[in-house]
Amino acid sequence: MAATLTEQELDEIYVFAVQLGKDAGKLLLEAAQLRISGSGDQTVQSFTEKDNAVDIVTKTDEDVEQFIKTSILSKYPHHTFLGEESYSKSTTPSSRPYLIPSSGPTWCVDPLDGTVNYTHLFPMFCVSIGFLVDGAPVIGVIYAPLLNQLFTSCKGKGSWLNETQRLPLMRNPVPPMPKNAPQGCIFSCEWGKDRKDKKDGNLHRKVDSFLNMAAEVGGREGKGGMVHGVRSLGSATLDLAYTAMGAFDIWWEGGCWEWDVAAGIAILEEAGGLVTTAKVPMNPDTAEIEPVRLGGRLYLAIRPSGPGEGETGREGQERTVREVWKRVRELDYSRPGA
Amino acid sequence: MAATLTEQELDEIYVFAVQLGKDAGKLLLEAAQLRISGSGDQTVQSFTEKDNAVDIVTKTDEDVEQFIKTSILSKYPHHTFLGEESYSKSTTPSSRPYLIPSSGPTWCVDPLDGTVNYTHLFPMFCVSIGFLVDGAPVIGVIYAPLLNQLFTSCKGKGSWLNETQRLPLMRNPVPPMPKNAPQGCIFSCEWGKDRKDKKDGNLHRKVDSFLNMAAEVGGREGKGGMVHGVRSLGSATLDLAYTAMGAFDIWWEGGCWEWDVAAGIAILEEAGGLVTTAKVPMNPDTAEIEPVRLGGRLYLAIRPSGPGEGETGREGQERTVREVWKRVRELDYSRPGA
């Protein structure tokens, strides 16, 4: 079925997806405004008396997903829809097989990424809408309404900020990866939800990895990466968007689901970025750098790169991937069939 | 001299400071736009051929500070001016005594906070302008031009986002601190520049502290704080602004200079937040919670809080301070005379 999508059809889906992202973001913003007004506002009285902040956010999450799902299936009844809310209710994480059908037009949606930020009204939250053909992300729409930042892409048409600025932002020329990467790089990572204080658990593997990336060169038994900065925003989706923008050089994460990353991968790849696995290979210096497998749950992304001294942009990205592999530990996020 | 400032004079200074912040932010944005256009743009050809990104940013930093300094001293020739760029050139960190005169109107300015972000065009950078009377911050202006977020305050007149939304954003009512804080809190912290892999050095003290705040309750030998989220933006100034907004619950940092925090402290305190020292007292449960000493270099800030069950907002903030003190390690940032 996918093979039958004409360029015109894809264009039409792109226009639809962008408008859907804007509308969904507006719903998120309206619900946030209600929380700012609080119970002093008559219209939300019953809302805030009954529910706490987390209930309200959960309801917004579900309402926005329902809006997106209904909009998509009304217009494209034969497309497949995968959304975070609907899916996480019908399954437990440990029983989730790969979700993406190998063919057919598929939507992969997170109505609200950065839920904790949204609860606290920290602006780093967004709606994320990815559209896949044959299992590969071809359209991405990420909208952070409180930041007024809209990231969009369609395969072959470039990636854009607010529909006017092409990504990456610096492009005349696109800077190469730093010569001694990860030195000079902004490293983006998240603490996540797995906080078990278990020897060799994910929390400690993450902190070991963060420390290796951050420590002085020569430190950490030679693993010190002395990155320029370590950033944690609390939204995997926006981490990917800022990597596409060129603002972050490296994003490394484990545990994401398809809806967290589908749109971000579409936007990053279309901007010229590289996304592969954070699964650490036996020999990081020579292992093949495989294209990302959506659903693999372990991700490593590098920003778009121009050519540097004696290497292409792609070679600079691959060099950076290898340097990260040498410094991070493999996180424990398996899934059935993976 | 400070005591002679009338309310009308203070109002006039406030209006002047806000406009100065807007103008300075515009200069930062214009310089960023030049970098986005790159060498493809004739007007910046000579600029980008000669200099690397860091040189350009340093030049912008200095130019904007010069603009702010000249503007202030033209209008208020008898005021004292302290700026990051001018000061850091004339001193080495280890020889810097307390900078703030004990009386007299004093401006404390960071022309560009979040320099690494600015270099990478990640939007979390800002200009920070604080105005002090008798050593206490009474006016704060923080402007992040790429986010289009302007934070302002004047003692007695409230703190504001974009001159229209009063801070904290949620204020009908202002939520109390969570009952089991730091659980439920967003914890804001930075990795900073001291990356020495030295046993018991600042990097390891920070990571120990982050881990204690993040780990599950009961973990880390009872210190696990299970915060809702850990965030690192790369700008101490914006960390304070988001704490004033209520988006972050706790901000903890060491090593800041006066210009990093003067405006942020003014805005946070006027919004109802608490700022004290991150120096860990002998007995965290009973130690007095002293007002922040600008220049102390160790800071702990708590967002504005409404009353909770059986406690005032202030009591909730103090309870949170004590819970943080129990979990963080004291960082090693001394200064002469401190």
Three-class HEC string of B311-326: ECHHHHHHHHHHHHHC
Nearest to A169 among B36, B224, B242 (CB): B36
Asked whether B202 and B254 are in contact (CB, 8 A), the reply is: yes
Whether residue B171 and residue A216 make contact (CB cut-off 8 A), yes or no, is: no
Interface check B215 vs A, CB under 8 A: yes
Q: Determine if residue B84 is labeled as part of a ligand binding site.
A: yes
Spell out which residues of chain A touch residue B224, defining contact as CB-CB under 8 Å: 195, 197
Whether residue B224 and residue A197 make contact (CB cut-off 8 A), yes or no, is: yes
Whether residue B233 and residue A229 make contact (CB cut-off 8 A), yes or no, is: no
3-state secondary structure A136-182: EEEEEEEEECCCCEEEEEECCCCEEECCCEECCCCCCCCCCCCCCCC
Whether residue A172 and residue B215 make contact (CB cut-off 8 A), yes or no, is: no
Whether residue B247 and residue A122 make contact (CB cut-off 8 A), yes or no, is: yes
Strand order in the sheet with B298-302: B229-231, B186-188, B250-254, B298-302, B274-277
Torsion, CA B53, CA B59, CA B64, CA B65, rounded to 10: 130
B1 pLDDT above the threshold of 70: no
Whether residue A186 and residue B215 make contact (CB cut-off 8 A), yes or no, is: no
Q: In which band, very low, low, confident or very high, does the pLDDT at A71 lie, cut at 50, 70 and 90?
A: very high
Nearest to A196 among B216, B230, B247 (CB): B216
Q: Determine if residue A23 is labeled as part of a ligand binding site.
A: no
Interface check A205 vs B, CB under 8 A: no
Would you state the structure tokens that stand for residue B36, as one six-digit string?
Answer: 């986005």
Nearest residue of A to residue B121 by CA position? A247
Spell out which residues of chain A touch residue B176, defining contact as CB-CB under 8 Å: none
Q: Note the pLDDT of residue B51.
A: 52
Asked whether A264 and A140 are in contact (CB, 8 A), the reply is: yes
Q: Which of A43, A47, A122 to mutate to test the interface with B (most CBs of B within 10 A)?
A: A122
Q: Determine if residue B260 is labeled as part of a ligand binding site.
A: yes
Encoded amino acid at A36, one letter = I
Whether residue B247 and residue A191 make contact (CB cut-off 8 A), yes or no, is: no
pLDDT, tens digit (0-9, with 9 covering 90-100), for B62-109? 999 999 999 999 999 999 999 987 776 666 655 666 667 778 999 999
pLDDT, tens digit (0-9, with 9 covering 90-100), for B32-62? 988 887 644 434 333 444 456 667 788 899 9
Interface check A136 vs B, CB under 8 A: no
Whether residue A35 and residue B121 make contact (CB cut-off 8 A), yes or no, is: no
Integer-rounded Cα radius of gyration of chain A: 20
Nearest residue of A to residue B148 by CA position? A147
Whether residue A249 and residue B120 make contact (CB cut-off 8 A), yes or no, is: yes
Q: Note the pLDDT of residue B40.
A: 42
Q: Determine if residue B221 is labeled as part of a ligand binding site.
A: no
Rounded to whole angstroms, the Cα distance separating B255 from B96 reads: 13
Q: Would you tell me which residues 238-267 of chain B have a C-beta closer than 8 angstroms to some C-beta of chain A?
A: 242, 245-249
Whether residue B216 and residue A195 make contact (CB cut-off 8 A), yes or no, is: yes
Strand order in the sheet with B159-161: B80-83, B106-113, B126-133, B136-144, B149-154, B159-161, B165-166
Interface check A53 vs B, CB under 8 A: yes
Q: Burial letters for B225-249: b for 16+ Cβ neighbours within 10 Å, e otherwise?
A: bbbbbbbbbbbbbbbbbbbbbbbbb
pLDDT, tens digit (0-9, with 9 covering 90-100), for A88-135? 666 665 566 666 777 899 999 999 999 999 999 999 999 999 999 999
A50 pLDDT above the threshold of 70: no
Asked whether A333 and A297 are in contact (CB, 8 A), the reply is: yes
Rounded to whole angstroms, the Cα distance separating B201 from B91 reads: 24
Q: Note the pLDDT of residue B95.
A: 60
Domain ranges of chain A: 2-166, 186-325
Encoded amino acid at B100, one letter = I
pLDDT, tens digit (0-9, with 9 covering 90-100), for A217-264? 999 999 999 999 999 999 999 999 999 999 999 999 999 999 999 999
Q: What percent of chain A has pLDDT over 90?
A: 80
Interface check B44 vs A, CB under 8 A: no
Encoded amino acid at A188, one letter = S
Q: What is the DSSP letter of B195?
A: -
Q: What are phi and psi of A188, to 5 degrees?
A: -110, 130
B315 burial (CB, 10 Å; 0-12 / 13-18 / 19+) is middle
Who contacts A217 (Cβ-Cβ below 8 Å, separation ≥6)?
A183, A224, A225, A226
- The listed CATH number (3.40.50.150, 3.50.50.60, 3.40.190.80, 3.40.366.10) that belongs to domain B186-325: 3.40.190.80
pLDDT, tens digit (0-9, with 9 covering 90-100), for B235-291? 999 999 999 999 999 999 999 999 999 999 999 999 999 999 999 999 999 999 999
Whether residue A232 and residue B234 make contact (CB cut-off 8 A), yes or no, is: no
Rounded to whole angstroms, the Cα distance separating B238 from B260 reads: 10
Q: What percent of chain B has pLDDT over 90?
A: 80
The mean pLDDT of A38-66, rounded to a whole number, is 64
Q: Note the pLDDT of residue A295.
A: 85
Q: Determine if residue A55 is labeled as part of a ligand binding site.
A: no
Q: Note the pLDDT of residue A1.
A: 43
CATH top-level class of B2-166 = alpha beta
pLDDT, tens digit (0-9, with 9 covering 90-100), for B131-144? 999 999 999 999 99
State the smallest CA–CA distance between residue B87 and chain A in angstroms.
23
Spell out which residues of chain A touch residue B148, defining contact as CB-CB under 8 Å: 148
**What is the rounded end-to-end Cα distance, in angstroms, of chain B?**
26
